[in-house]
Amino acid sequence: MTDRDFGLNYVPLMAQIKLIVGLGNPGKKYQGTRHNLGFVLLDFLAAQANQKFKAGRGEYKQSRLDLGYCDLWALKPKTFMNRSGLAVAGFCNYFRIAPEEVVVVCDDINLPIGKIRIREAGSAGGHKGLADIIRCLNSDCFTRIRLGVGLPPEEQPSEDYVLKNFDSGEMAVINEMIENAARVVQTLICEGITSAQNNFN
């Protein structure tokens, strides 16, 4: 499915989505780690739109992405994972974006590596970045795209595991998941969450 599959008169069904947030930790130290998959997806989408991220008014990097099928804001918090809500709430307050108009992308250790899960609302499920966004927005009514990174080995704390890089044998699965996640974004906006869940969950 591409934007060319839609006619000139096509109007997206999910035009209310105004912002996609990718979660991660800033700095070269954390590039390529499991916890930074939200950043990876946003970088992938920005490359597709031939756009780059720049410093915003708050503790975040922002970009305006024309993806062909929609035009929306993209946000990468610079507040580190556990304080992600501070950046998201600041951006949403400034641009008057409601929680229901937000999509958040994050890693998930409770999903097998390569698995994607889309949810319309709900709890943080143990993810501290999501928990902080829920706290700062005072709402859990935002869509989340969770990208599976698999459970850590029994002897390794999850806090350490998510800050590790993927090994070479995992990268093919990760690259395929990122491409599929980009399709999830398109499906969410153009066809709605039910279609995205039916096709990718």
Point out the residues that are catalytic: 35
Check if the beta carbon of residue 150 is closer than 8 Å to that of residue 113: yes
Check if the beta carbon of residue 31 is closer than 8 Å to that of residue 37: no
Reduce the DSSP state of residue 54 to 3 states and report it: strand
Any idea which residue has 């130290």 for tokens? 29
Check if the beta carbon of residue 70 is closer than 8 Å to that of residue 182: no
- Taking alpha carbons only, the member of 94, 120, 91 closest to residue 19 is 91
